[in-house]
Structure 1
Amino acid sequence: MPLASGRNGQDHRGPRLSAHHEHRAADGVRGVRMAAKLSYRPKSKVLHRDRVWTIVRAVTPTSVLIEDTTTGETDVVNVTDLQSPEPKKVEAARRSSPRPKDEQSLAEAKRRMEIIKPLLDLPEGRTEAVEAAAKSAGISTATLFRWIKLYRDGGQLSYLAPLRRGRAMPSRLDAKVETIIQSVIDEYYLTRQQRSGTKAIEEVERRCRTAGLKPPHANSIRKRLRAVHPRDALAKRRGRKEARDKHGEVKGEFPEGRWPLDVVQIDHTLLDLILVDEEFRQPIGRPWLTLAIDVFSRMVVGYHISLDAPSAFGVGLCLCHAFLPKEAELDRLGIKGEWPVWGIMTKIHADNGKDFRSATLKRSCEEYGIDIQWRPVRTPHFGGHIERLMGTVAKEIHALPGTTFANPKQRGEYDSDARSIMTLPEIRRWLVQFIVGVYHKREHRGIGMPPIERWREGILGNGRQKGIGLPEPVSDPRRLRIDFLPFEERTVQRDGIVWDKVAYYGDVIRPWINVSHGRQKRKFVVRRDPTDISRVYVLDPDQNEYFEVPYRDLTKPSISIWEYRAAEKFLSDRGIKGANEDEIFEARQEMLRIEEEAQKETKRKRRNRERKKHHAEITLPPAPSPDPALDDRRNDGHLSLVVDNTTPAAKPGRGKSRGGDSDFDFDFNEHDVKTGVEEW
């Protein structure tokens, strides 16, 4: 039966969420909120041993000197032992930094980001640089300082979006007027004549009157002028050289990194190695490796190794690994050494693969202020650093048992399948050991020193150049993971949110049912983990908070998107087109039964089993439930039985228990319950 919507299914103002969010704990809604901001910059306040300290300076790439300004005590501590002194009030943070709700807000946030980006890496106190940038941008110095503070506090593009007051009215112009404005921008404003914005407005008004159209308001024209990317505007009005000098890049040029995390190159490769499954140690094929390298130091900043083909999801996992500290991973893998790399890079260089050009990656990188540059077609030398790193890894791989070598001629009569011995977890541990214990410590011919030494110089400085200091940490790793998951924009219907024929519903989305935005139904950003599609993450655009929304039918099992696609193909091969949700899940169960009945293990089946194990390791776990009792509900296809064997007071209308003369809440005796559970 379709679910009823609130407010008769319509609310042209959009949902007012604060009221129903007060009941999150009672309803079992799991939200993903912004975490408190922690900074390693000098003069930043941090919490250590239940006391507030001030950071004095970086001592090593992983430690800082801190001072208790009250007592004068100093100490050198690892940054992993520091916390934010005062967790921010989430509601206040959201109100002061709403997420862009429309293209105009997003364009304005991007414009502000382009203005402040050259200033973010400058030491604090460089007022003259801020004043010059403010004058160039035509804004006050106080406004520019405020934008810089907003971004440093939040670390995301959405913090720079203009704060709307009152109801946001849709801005719609006649298509003919829009065409005139765009033509004036292209033909009149973006020229070496460098006409002012006022002149452009006058020209739009003149052309509209000539065409018999009502000229738009001057502010509407100004918004479209501001939406032009500053780099593009400068290149067309004053030349590519000046654009390159100011913004550090133009299309077709891949500059060297000027400091750590200035430029990161990323790419995939299919490793020349046959892996075996963990259970039977039989061959399952070759894994894919995604690597990211810091151009300045040649340090490996992140990796992702998987049996799945390259995708935007895999790229996101590699980047998330690059953004976050590595100590916990080294401890888990039992590897001694240091990998002092974390933080958000300024630019990413990648090839033209669709996984690097996906809307998911573009939007996620924009949110964190990362520029993506794609190498020109048929110019592999533009990705030289990552290509050389891939070649270095390949040479090491060729020495392992089970290698396929670079080509059949090199392999000769070597039987790769028969010699294969390594599982996916084992090659992962081998790779990290090679990166940390060998590659980072070995002299790199391109920079004349080991990558880790070059990284230290960039962070701490040397006798010739001042270091940039420790990178800013990511305050909320879980939110980061969600922000890099694949997304779609979906409306909320009476039966919830539907993605790939799978319906999702939770009380948290009830106020959004059939909500309108202007003349159309409002769409919401919905993200999903491909390794487990049993829930989605819906972004509340007003609160800037993700909420987990589970299957509408909680009896359905958790599966990956690859298992879902396989079930669709299973039905399609049998002539069943356009199968619904129930048919697809039933097909998946039938496929599992067929696999269990098969006696001979094939390489494909062994590979699929290892993929499932790997997916379970990288799946984003559910957020902790506000009410632990709600976690008793199962959605993996099994029955959850809760039995209360106490003897409460007799209730009217209940029958006698078969186990005695007293009245019980149910009519199973202990033997029945035990036998039944064993049979199930």
Structure 2
Amino acid sequence: MSCIMDFADEFTESTSAKKPETPAQYVKLDDAELLKRDLDTFPDFLKEKALDKYKLISFIEQENSGGWTQKKLDPILDRLFEGNTEKRPNWRTVVRWRKSYIDSNGDLASLVVKRHKMGNRKKRVEGDEVFFERALSRFLDAKRPKVTTAYQYYKDVITIENETIVDGKIPIISYTAFNQRIKSLPPYPIAVARHGKFKADQWFAYCSSHIPPTRILERVEIDHTPLDLILLDDELLIPLGRPYLTLIVDVFSNCVLGFHLSYKAPSYVSAAKAIVHAIKPKTLSNIGIELQNDWPCYGKFETLVVDNGAEFWSKSLDHACKEAGINIQYNPVRKPWLKPFVERFFGMINQYFLTEIPGKTFSNILEKEDYKPEKDAIMRFSVFVEEFHRWIVDIYHQDSDSRDTRIPIKQWQHGFDIYPPLQMEVEDEKRFNVLMGIADERTLTRNGFKFEELMYDSTALADYRKHYPQTKDTIKKLIKIDPDDLSSIHVYLEELEGYLKVPCTDTTGYTQGLSLHEHKVTKKINREIIRESKDNLGLAKARMAIHARVQQEQELFNESKTKTKLSGVKKKAQLADISSTGKSTIVLPESEPQKSINCNQVEAEMEDDDWDMDLEGY
């Protein structure tokens, strides 16, 4: 029996899982523990009076040898306040002070006069609640009317209502009382109604601090911004406008890892170029100027923090980063404070670098008709790129922060010595450059690949077509395009499990160093030139001649008493464009007007039954 009891005793304590405690920063106000206020929370004059009471109680405690009675206290008080009877407290008041002090376990705050609780706590005016609520709904509007406007509405509705009341009219409070009621309302709901939830959250929501990284490249932030600067074209010296800067910053050291500067709006291309620049070692010999220091910041980062821009949701970026072992962390929409380091760096660029460059304040320079580059001396684009390198490498990286807590390049070197980051081999760099290209899908033909009206083919690709038969599904291939160089593409070959570099078949040198953006602009200009050069009138006459010829053949067929040759009908079907997506008969509508057009100019084209049979199918 004792064994059974001993066995049961092993389960007397509760084995249920305990709910983990909520971290202190996430505890709601209703559940938070508040400590009682102390003497320092009161105004100085109240603190001084409380200390005087404490000194009085302490003195009497030392002088009094018996109980706290009138017989004992009055002689002591008379002696203390001799000649100053106006400030002498009644003995009962002193007893009450001592009792409050003892009941509070010696808290000096218990001796403070509760003046903050004095005054009327109840509304002096009642009966206007409905009208105040109606006026409040007017005030809580996205148009954000003034308090005076809401108060005027409040007075007007009550005045109209009182017109029908004989006895017991509704009282109207003063503007000061109305304004005080508004100010006493909870501020967050008012901010939501008048400014929207996003602004209200910015003003009142809790913003948690970041968990600081413990090593370099553990957390890296990327973002875009238009620079507050107008630059000049290097050759023409005309203003180009404000360029976009894509920047990557290491959070641990605050060092700049890489950047990309362009006039094209932020896109996957600008993000990819900045990432490649950040990961690869920096060669400063081709910058064009001599720098005092090196730029040793590079390597594969662990987590890339991005916002919710469309360029960062690109499948190409996601796939490339996964292939390289980089984790992407997306920040919530419209919350830049969750990515503070790169945002702060943009502010530093405007404050410490751009302020010294002419053109910083020329926000409306493009609107000035009398603009002269030599007069305003705005910097050329290439010079800005060189000086931006100098500012990053020789100034920002070498200088301490505003609180003198760290020097970015020293912090980087310290982190590098303790935990050096992963670096890419030469082959890995080549592969990463291909991975960061724009991904697309194209059909493999006997002439290679066609991309943006350019053809890509090679002997190696021809050998691939000879040795590996393709099906309807496998004939579509994944290609990677470098948007800055269309002279070649990379094609993924499933059977070989690798990317093959395929050059453009252009022999004129047009694609050497040609960017995708330049090519698209060139194509657009070329189309406009073709449209302007096209003889629309001549083409219209030719099409009408063909139409008239079809009509003439139809009339001859209807009048003929002999059997029409099949070849003649085929000609008419060809000219009438009989197809699955076009017409289904060669008969013309009777309502169509007759055209008197000389058809001799198209007669020769009708003589050959197989005039389009020389087209080869693939």
Q: TM-score, normalised by structure 1?
A: 0.43
TM-score relative to the length of structure 2: 0.47
Structure with greater Cα Rg: 2
